Each structure stands twice: as C-alpha cells, then as structure tokens.
Amino acid sequence: MMVAGQYDQPTATMTTHLKDIDVIGTFAAELHGPTPPFSAAVPFYRAAVAQGRGGQDTGALCAVLEKLAGIERKG
C-alpha cells in the first residue's frame, strides 16, 4: 500500500485505529503506565483523520508523514 500510495482498500481504517487508541490510552492512564512511543504516535493518526483519511488503511500514515515533511511523490 505504501509503495503504491493506495490506501482505499483498508484492512484497518484510521477511524477504527483511533477508537483503539482511545481505549488503550484510557487503560494506560488508569494504570498510570507511561506510554512514550504510543503518545508520540497519536497526533499523527489524528492528523490523518483531519486530512480526510479516516476511511483509509492505517498505512496511509505514510502519506500523512510525507505531507508533513513536504514530500511529494513523483509518478
């Protein structure tokens, strides 16, 4: 998916992943468990949904990072 830049046949959508992120985040907070890598990744998944990628595969995170870095794929 990432190589082709095609994310419209999802195995897991960004929206579903955000739901899971909320469940995991709540559970970790209740345990007072630190989750540095998890916490660092969450904003990028939220950015994906904000970019209209909620129904796309979570692999579309690649496109989000490309956009944030100002990278434009060439054909």
Contacts of 49 (CB under 8 A, 6+ apart): 14, 15, 18
For the chain, the structural domain boundaries read 14-69
Query: Which tens digit of pLDDT belongs to each residue from 22-73?
Result: 999 999 999 999 999 999 999 999 999 999 999 999 999 999 999 999 998 8
Question: In terms of pTM, does the model score above 0.85?
Answer: no
Phi/psi zone of residue 9: left (φ > 0), alpha (ψ -120 to 50 degrees), beta? Answer: beta
> Which residue in 64, 62, 56 sits closest to 14, CA to CA?
56
The pLDDT-based confidence of 75 (bands split at 50, 70, 90) is low
Task: Give pLDDT tens digits for 8-26.
Answer: 888 889 999 999 999 999 9
Closest CA to 53 of 24, 12, 4, 23: 12
Separation between Cα atoms, residue 64 and residue 69, nearest integer Å:
9
